[in-house]
Amino acid sequence: MKYLQTFETYSSLKVILDDETKMKIKLDDDVLGGKFKNKTIKVKKIGINAKDDIAINNKPFTKFRLKDKKE
């Protein structure tokens, strides 16, 4: 998994999972987390943890998924 930081303060993050899948995560976005990834969690902090992995609210990025936006 590749990731590109777009701001130095990690206020936004662009994640590239493969050539076709791209996600943009910003502060105040809603993501799904929890044991079954069904609880809505607001992104308050984006950064890098001690293992050099992406961290959202001090938890690894793989513990979350994006919430579908119905418009």
Domain boundaries, the chain: 2-66
Higher pLDDT among residues 1 and 20, named by residue: 20
Query: Residue 52 and residue 29: Cα distance in Å, rounded?
Result: 22
Mean pLDDT of 3-23: 60
Query: Residue 11 and residue 5: Cα distance in Å, rounded?
Result: 9
> What pLDDT digit, counting tens, does each position of 21-71 carry?
667 788 899 999 988 989 999 999 888 888 878 888 989 888 888 787 665
> Is there a contact between 64 and 30 (Cβ–Cβ < 8 Å)?
no
Q: Is pTM, for the whole model, over 0.75?
A: no
Encoding tokens for residue 22? Answer: 């791209």
Specify the 3-state DSSP secondary structure of 19: coil
